Structure 1
Amino acid sequence: MNSKIQKIELNDGHSIPVLGFGTYATEEHLRKKSMESTKIAIDVGFRHIDCSHLYQNEEEIGQAIVSKIEDGTVKREDIFYTSKLWSTSHRPELVRPSLENSLRKLNLDYVDLYLIHFPVSLKAMEKCKDAGLAKSIGVSNFNRRQLERILNKPGLKHRPVCNQVECHLYLNQSKLLAYCKMNDIVLVAYGALGTQRYKYCINEDTPVLLDDPVLCTMAKKYKRTPALIALRYQLERGIVTLAKSFNEERIRENLQVFDFQLASDDMEILDNLDRNLRYFPANMFKAHPNFPFSDEY
């Protein structure tokens, strides 16, 4: 099946599909599930797969991708695969071995995008790009000040192509988005459905985004699900959006995001739902000098 997923060009000449399939899995049984759901995602047309060393399921995701290449559904170059360098491997001499380890597990020769999971140095990442192990390099969870520090670095060889951050209707990141656009950095949204999956991070009484009355009213108006409206909202803003599901029906449904558009006054209404709410406050990193979420954006 041909993918109808649109792409955005990155500042290094490569391009990234605007809708990605998230593969984060917490427990072991979900890792097995993530292999099956990744196969389904590729079958229904997803071409952008987002994973990480931290998720501990790169082996399963790799098997899913390789099996879809072997059965002729896709070629390697059809798939845009993202991996991330976790915080235990930030020392420059650990960066490349960490990526090579991921590639071994995946059974792939290169990743399309390699991200720093939390704010640190980019130098060793640049070498991974030069070596052809990563086509593009980017960052994740960086705030404006941290991006600025990288962009102003003397001798910067490769600008980060993207910044992957939590972004949804309750945390719409409009200021960070404006800054990234100004600097030709693509914003990639995780948690785009205001996910409740970070159970260990949030209070029970955290609002469920997909139950939001304004969102539900709009879903009725467009005859779509609240999830589709929430995803479409991000795409209209030029944000690359990750959608994660283990449910075949929902995986298929998420691709309908390309079948409609939101009127500009409805976009404005959705803009106003922002309440600066993080579902993933990353409090375990709060004491770190590079903790990114203390700044306004």
Structure 2
Amino acid sequence: MPTDEQVYAYSTVMMGSPILLKLFEHNQALAAAVFGLIKRQEDRLTVNRQQSEVMSINHAAGLHPVAVSPPVFNLIQCAKAVSVAPGSCFNFAIGPLVKRWKIGFQGNSVPPVDELHSLLPLTDPQQVVLDEQQHTVWLKKAGMEIDLGAIAKGYIADLVRDALRREGIERALINLGGNVQTLGMPESEGEPGWAIGLKQPFAEADALIGVIHVCGKSVVTSGIYERYFWLDGRCYHHILDAKTGYPLDNELLSVTIISDNSIDGDIYTTLLYGMGVEKGLAYLAALPQIEAIFVTRDRQVICSSQHQFRFTLINHEYRIG
């Protein structure tokens, strides 16, 4: 933590999450500008209201292409590329399943199997047609819905970082409810860098497994404890498998990605959760710019490497794997 310098924290709630901005100067106008930027992006990308650029695409499913702004088109293009990659469990066309389960939105029951199976053909990302010349998006089948929720926070966090840099800000932190993006580092005693807590799954909000120390990096965690319900002794969480219609089920409780860009954190937390630990570690061996921390059901904490961060275990109910 900083020793002799003041940190100014600004907070609000958007995108269904608490938003926190930390600066080393008192600058209410800059904080307001940052929150305004986030709000404008949320208004473009949300699927939790009837009107947005993304919802205009969904409303026209099966009918006609819809023109969107270049930034939204580019983000959709990125989401499709990740969704159609071989073996990917990232799927931006998963909207119909998300909407039916309603996990995190008062959903607390398992949909009938035939109903889920009837929705699976509507989650094929190949049925999303993009026109680069016209910046149009067309969902070929009626009932299809794209959902950028798995990528939007990372995209916005990077926009905030870039906006702060343009304002000459060299050190700051933005936390978009789980997507943490940092600039520079605070002066500190002991371990250098920003200290980002790694949450303990299914525990009190402030209960931590350990602390991740980073400088100028993004830290993104996705876990099954974020949105879920229990039924008959089983946990049904929000990370859905578009191949089966049900929540993905493996040995993982959470995946944390440390990277330069927060959008990569969003993408790779989902990809690696779907792979599991063994395949995930093998996959990361070819991606030195992406590092991960896996937390397993048997309370292991497994780091792919620690070249871009340092991890300190503080909860001894867990062990380094």
**Shared fold (TM-score, shorter chain, > 0.5):** no
Could you tell me the TM-score, scaled by structure 1's length?
0.27
Higher strand share: 2
Larger radius of gyration, structure 1 or 2? 2
Which of 1 and 2 has higher RCO (CA within 8 Å, sep 6+)? Answer: 1
